[in-house]
Structure 1
Amino acid sequence: MNSISHSTRYLPYETSTRFHAVKLYRTGVGVKFVCRRYHISKASIMRWNKRFDGTRDSLLDHSHRPHTPHPNSHTDLELKWIRDLHKRNPHISLLEMYGKLKTNKGYKRHPLSLYRVFVRLGFSSKAPSTKKPYVPKPYHTPDKIGVKWQMDVKYVPAACYTGQVPQKFYQYTVIDEASRERFIYPYLEQSSFSTVDFLKRAIAYFGYKSRVLQTDNGAEFTHITKTDRIHPLDSLCQKLGIVHKKIRPRTPRHNGKV
């Protein structure tokens, strides 16, 4: 269920809707017909008709703020206590303020009531963060070919097919970071067997093998769970003398070229 924020709980009718509804009603059309056409209530059309003086400004929405405060709301004296206490100690926490108000001033409100006033007055109960913002390091792209390849696999949606193809395909892609030359090949399954076969085809296509092969952490490239077994791709890389480098989890920008 979608929740409605505090600022959008009241959804007023547009001024043009009010204007045309009142104009139509004043032509002598029945109020039921006007209500059905503009999806409004009879009380609304009567209220707008009473306010209408021929201009659109007379139908603008008025403030819905009550003229008198709620009888259970904080008094001016209590608000003064909160402001003065926060002024003397700007970094005071909510619980510390509640304890001082209750001990020194006889404050009897609920802590949540104090929290709402705390937020409404623009005070923050959190100390300023000392954590340094994350600054991504510049990515070093090799200058020579054959230094690093990026490999990835993607499901090919049916909208990309030509004609009626009953099978589902997965496109394997490898790209040389220096030359940006790529090699792609389709497979019927996304598995370690397809990955090993694709790497062999890529080496045959480029005519050389890369020093580093960079992939993500998918099951077709590495074991997801901890195990003593060697992944077929790692086994092939060890035989060929290729360093298999896996990017940081949930960081696809590290493999952005492919």
Structure 2
Amino acid sequence: MKRLAQEARVRQGVVDYAEKHGKSEAARKYGVSLSSVKRWSKRYDGTWQSLQERSHRPNSHPRQHSEAEEAAIRQAFVKAYARYGWDGVYAELLKGHGYTRSFGGMYHAATRMGLGWGKKWKRPSTAARRYPELTTPGEKVQIDVKEVPYCCLKGAAKRDGKRLYQWTAIDECTRLRYVFGYEEHTPENSADFLGRLLKVFPFPIQTIQTDNGTEFTYKFISRTEKVRLKRLWQTKGLHTG
């Protein structure tokens, strides 16, 4: 039997004795204060559960979160927790809600409100993720460039000490992949790869996504100059992401 239940049973015996012999006599016999016997007798409803120890936590605190602050925490939690965790929730509160309390204060308030993974809050399924699954072939094609490791080179390329770079295009819907290699990491090769890609893929391409490297765009180093690849996909009517 748990300790709290044992204490409640003892209190039940004290109250039963007080009803038969008086509260003062029960206090003397069991060595407890008369005020405790009176308090237990007042709470007693015939079951030992009514005499269990109650929480001593205060019902309110002068610095407790207001209703507006709790509402802001809920909004920030729904918006940021699934993707960025508690750090993202706190950043969202500071940026979007004018929150002035500490991270620890926010966390304790949120857990007291029942926020966090559990029965009420479950991790969203893949159907509700931020980037939904694409269902149309060619809707988005990712292009990236990687240097081929030296240990993977063979024959003349390895003998002459050359460097090879692999351009890779992957369709997010069908996972169809096209790969081509070049000896130089240049925008001209990106444009050549795009031309080959448009001929090879069996369906039209709507959007191309890259990492915005200088082999794809100059937008971070020049406001006016455009690489050949940029001009090419504009003439083809492609969107970039």
Higher fraction of helix: 2
TM-score by length of 2: 0.45
TM-score by length of 1: 0.42
